[in-house]
Amino acid sequence: MSILKWTPGFGSQGSWRDLDRFRRQVEGLLETLSGTVERRLLSGSGVYPLLNIGEDDDHLYVTAELPGVAAQDLDISVHGQDLIIRGERRIAEAGSQVNYHRREREAGTFRRVVGLPVKVDAEKVSASVKDGVLRLTLPKAAEVKPRQVAVAAG
């Protein structure tokens, strides 16, 4: 585990970037410790993907917003009941002579660990990326799926 460092450079644009970088480090630390971070508590810009999780009788469905992230820059895995999404957003620089008035899109690596509500069959997970949205289909493990019980007459 790394030690968090923040040395503000008050009075400069860099201080806000430093503070935002520190906030992302704290988010990562909390994510590692708790497994999930309530995004509303630590809102702001960054590379950290927002996601939704839904389910039906047979599957969990995860969608994550990842604009600017290519499929080859993603690594998705399931460990126990944790879904781990890692990746990198690359944003081409406009050039060293460009002075930004606003810079809200972040480039960099991210790692998101989300506790799943049920066990899944990790061997049958499917994933696709289209229009900046990652879609995962995670089949539920056989032992957690609802089962029809036949009733014998008699």
- Please state, in angstroms and rounded to a whole number, the distance separating the CA atoms of residues 140 and 134: 19
Report helix, strand or coil for 22: helix
* Mean pLDDT within 15-40: 67
Q: Where are the domains of the chain?
A: 1-44, 47-141
**H helix or E strand, kind and range, residue 43:** none
Contact, 87 vs 109, CB < 8 A? yes
For the cut 70, the answer to whether the pLDDT of residue 14 exceeds it is: no
Lowest mean pLDDT among 27-36, 50-59, 86-95, 98-107: 27-36
DSSP helix, strand, coil percent of the chain (3-state; round to 5): 25, 30, 45
Per-residue pLDDT tens digits for 88-107: 988 887 778 888 888 777 78
* Mean pLDDT within 32-36: 56
Specify the pTM: 0.63
Nearest to 130 by CA among 66, 61, 53, 75: 66
* Mean pLDDT within 73-100: 89
Nearest to 40 by CA among 48, 89, 32: 48
Residue of higher predicted confidence among 13 and 124:
124
Per-residue pLDDT tens digits for 135-146: 999 999 988 877
State the CATH architecture for 47-141.
Sandwich (2.60)
What pLDDT does residue 54 have? 96
Q: What distances in angstroms separate CA 72 from CA 50, 54, 90, 128, 154, one per listed residue?
A: 19, 25, 12, 11, 59
For the cut 70, the answer to whether the pLDDT of residue 36 exceeds it is: no
Q: Quickly list H helices, 5-143.
A: 13-34
